[in-house]
Structure 1
């Protein structure tokens, strides 16, 4: 569990950040979500612990490999987590803390929770500093240490993307950009960019494929964004901003601030967002349709649905919200067919690893076929609820083909009344690679978009 909080308005000491970071890393090793753990972390250390945890998890394979060389016998779990945390932060290229400071504070943290291990940790870390170049070179001969992803994950990517798998692994190690979706009911993108500049925030457009998207040069708290509380903008990755346009029509008009509703399904169309939480795509649908959809947001997680309600309320958008498993249609469907269905299906999250660096360590090989079965069950349950002529958009934040193209190819084989709508851009597998010609880039050359898959199906 997170350690106790310190007095407010006092910067927490590094040894306390390291202790909490080690606890976060151990929680992930034990199979727990980093996001869930951080929600329980003391508020005064949470930002620092999140930043350090992200760094450690991006280097976990390498740090564990070096620890195995320096200390072949496994230390107690909490001591090992602190040791691995310190090794990851002492890795070449990290200049956040001076080496001697980090070693001193790591030993201090160990002394507070396992005094008898303080000398051992001190000796291991100092040996690492003396032999760092050779130890790093030796560790990187192991693919898990070199790429900091499990071997099975690498093999799956290599099979799906033989010419791009290494680039995908490298992309997962990058800091993701903070991307906003500008609300056309309040501002044009140019107007909002000017408002950001007035408040000292540098930003730029995400690219022609994402007409509402603005990328910040540096992440900022949402409280610092002009008009955020009043619904002028939302935080949403550029790839996720493709969902609503693809379901409602291929592309929106360029001038989204014109006030004109844009919705090929028609005013008052009945639309289902089947796995809606946290509600970014739900809200975007209503934004583009001028708040004139008959919209139902469904999710199996009642707790996460509160975020959907909050998003709709902040943006002053309409929509019914209900907790239910979309597959159990008898429990929630009223028998009226839908004009459009958005199925953002549960998946491996293999396309958003840079935002959730714990995902690679939490997933197991057997999870992928299990998730594919759930995706298939959702497609089968929801397809009969669609009107003839209606549209179903299938989406996953995955780069694994079994959760994307393979899933849809199999569905089309089973359903003669389904047709796949093709587009020049914005559908299929979107890979988070910096050389993707369909997008601009974040500062430093990183890809603007996360990895996603989209397929638009029409019932004939």
Structure 2
């Protein structure tokens, strides 16, 4: 039996914020509990509340004398769901109020009905006299104004003093849907013609790229030839990896931390005559997605569950010509796609991540042939994971040479910021192993 979707949303948000579960892990299991017609609204509520969490909690704080704790805590997130509907959705206020209050029963907090109803109605009345939180609010903390944790705002202000507000604003936007054309089947121009014939609005990133941005997201099954492997879903920033790695015929290639396999498949699409592709990931469960993508696209690779930090446990001893290291990172470049990152990631995580990246870089480097290329990649915007990490590695590794890939040849790597040409935040650096 389908459940009250506000109750399901509150449980899902509670699991993320208080229990530290990823939204990508939690939401699929919750979607099965509600009617098909309500699934879009459930996703809207979960993503929306997590995007605007500090702001919504500030709104609630104005109308409740004592914070809800313990077993009542899920009621707190139900109030956030209710206020989000009033502020940011087209759900009529009366429907939002009734359904939100009704959710108290399946959440086993019926004693909170009066409190939650009072908070929602007081907020509604306040709306006529006080606008939403804005960037002009002088007496409100930045975390509430910008809907990001304070530690992250400070890091972004330091790293990007001229762009920090624009970067935070980009993180609050809904991400576009990007397509990668499999040019073994169609040219980009041919596939664009198929999209036009299917009345799917789109635009191309640039003439040199196969990346196509859809004006509105669509179900993948509506994309011409999706099940036949003609096209894949992949952000334009992630699509840069294959071109930068620039594999050649006969190359032995390693994709480290490969799941879910988008870059693995793109490399094979672009250069089908490489000698071999090895794709590893530490999480065996995530390799199922790699296999699914390879099968749909009719591609082949050796897929191995292995730790990039300890290659001796899985490496067969044959050196690689090209290595893509999509390093474990903070994920701070893809917050617009995964707003839960803001609340799951902590300031102290960054030091541990940079130490892990250093360890992987050092150990994977020994698998690269002299004259070979390693492409270091992250979906982070933090310099300590990106340019500082690569600079340190090059300084400490005698046979490592950084090769400029950005327009500014003095840059260490290429930092793509969120919403730069509508792309995700991403970082790339090309490092070549010298032969001397």
TM bin, normalised by shorter chain, reads: over 0.9
Aligned equivalent of 2:90: 96
> For the residues of structure 1 that align with 2:13 and 2:406, how far apart are their CA atoms?
42
- Unpaired segments ≥5 residues, structure 2: none
> For the residues of structure 2 that align with 1:61 and 1:314, how far apart are their CA atoms?
41
Give 1:142 deviation, angstroms: 2.2
Q: 2:371 aligns with which of 376, 389, 407?
A: 389
Question: CA, structure 1 residues 291+82, in 2 after alignment: closer, same or farther (shift >3 Å)?
Answer: farther
Cα shift readout 1:262-302 (whole Å, capped 9, x = no counterpart):
x4xx3221010011000000001111102534110000000
Alignment of 1:289-304 (within 5 A): 289-304=271-286
Aligned equivalent of 1:114: 109
Q: 1:134 aligns with which of 130, 134, 137?
A: 130
2:254 match: secondary structure: strand
TM (norm. structure 1) is 0.87
Aligned equivalent of 2:161: 162
Aligned equivalent of 1:237: 235
Aligned equivalent of 1:454: 428
8 Å Cα contact 2:82/2:96 also seen in 1: yes
8 Å Cα contact 1:128/1:135 also seen in 2: no
Q: Quick check: 1:87 aligned with 2:83? A: yes
1:110 match: secondary structure: coil
* Structure 1 ranges of 4+ moved more than 6 A: none
8 Å Cα contact 2:241/2:263 also seen in 1: yes
Cα shift readout 1:395-444 (whole Å, capped 9, x = no counterpart):
000001111001001101101211111124495111124xx4xx3xxxxx
Q: 1:32 aligns with which of 21, 40, 59?
A: 21
Q: How many residues align?
A: 417
Cα shift readout 1:3-57 (whole Å, capped 9, x = no counterpart):
xx42xxxxx7xxx221111111111112110110012114335433112211111
Instruction: Let me know the Cα RMSD of the aligned residues.
Output: 1.7
Alignment of 1:306-345 (within 5 A): 306-345=288-327
> For the residues of structure 1 that align with 2:282 and 2:39, how far apart are their CA atoms?
28
> For the residues of structure 2 that align with 1:72 and 1:455, how far apart are their CA atoms?
52
Aligned equivalent of 2:244: 246
Question: CA, structure 1 residues 200+39, in 2 after alignment: closer, same or farther (shift >3 Å)?
Answer: same
8 Å Cα contact 2:16/2:344 also seen in 1: yes
Q: 1:65 aligns with which of 44, 58, 66?
A: 58
Aligned equivalent of 2:267: 285
2:30 match: secondary structure: coil
Cα shift readout 1:325-371 (whole Å, capped 9, x = no counterpart):
01111111111111010000111100000000111011111111111
Give 1:95 deviation, angstroms: 3.8
- Unpaired segments ≥5 residues, structure 1: 7-11, 249-262, 440-447
Give 1:100 deviation, angstroms: 2.0
> For the residues of structure 2 that align with 1:459 and 1:179, how far apart are their CA atoms?
33
> For the residues of structure 1 that align with 2:147 and 2:160, how far apart are their CA atoms?
18
Question: CA, structure 1 residues 187+68, in 2 after alignment: closer, same or farther (shift >3 Å)?
Answer: same
1:429 match: secondary structure: strand
8 Å Cα contact 1:62/1:88 also seen in 2: no
